[in-house]
Structure 1
Amino acid sequence: MDLSQAVWKKSSRSGDSGGNCVEVAGNLPGVIAVRDSKDPGGPALLFTPGEWNAFLGGVRDGEFDL
């Protein structure tokens, strides 16, 4: 998939010190792209909007809390 038009966003809680951050692009038709902010030219994971919403719901519900 061509991600050249992706508008990448990083969490405002990430700060500017590098760290372990992901960026998300939600402006592409039919896909949500996720990449490592330290490797913007590297691979991206692609999710359908339904998959992404299910993931976000799990985060909100604490399914991934350790």
Structure 2
Amino acid sequence: MAEAQDEEVRARKEREKNELYALDISGVAWQSAPGTEAHEERVEIAYLPEGAVAMRSSLAPETVLRYTKAEWDAFVLGARDGEFDLEPAPHNGGVPAADSSE
């Protein structure tokens, strides 16, 4: 029974992702963090229907990632909780790269 439910969830997620990537987003309004110059690389996001989000780099606008509302919410909560904080790399003695020349 649990296996059938897992398969059902996988199929639903696949269907949602396919629908999300089928959306025409040519007219969406892209937003980025304030204070960046037009020539600087920055992350841009656009809000899509049903809480979904599209994300791209300003220097590679043709490559767009799309996230369902659930995926985006999980990402934002994880970022706020520090899940993506970078740890010092062990190959340089545990010193952050910016401080390694000191």
> In which range does the TM-score fall when normalised by the shorter chain?
0.7 to 0.9
Which 5+ residue runs of structure 2 have no aligned equivalent? 1-22, 87-102
Q: Could you tell me which residue of structure 2 aligns to residue 38 of structure 1?
A: 59
Question: Structure 1 residues 17 and 8, CA, compared in 2 at 3 Å: closer, same or farther?
Answer: closer
Counterpart code for 2:68: T
TM normalised by structure 1 equals 0.81
RMSD value, Cα: 1.5
- Of 27, 47, 50, the residue aligned with 1:5 is 27
Count of equivalent residues:
63
Larger Rg: 2
Matched, 1:54 2:62: no
TM-score (ref. length: structure 2): 0.55
Gaps of 5+ in 1: none
Select the structure with the greater relative contact order (CA < 8 A; seq sep ≥ 6): 1
Instruction: State the match for 2:9 in structure 1.
Output: none
What's the offset of the Cα at 1:17? 5.7
Q: When you count helix as a share of all residues, which structure comes out higher?
A: 2
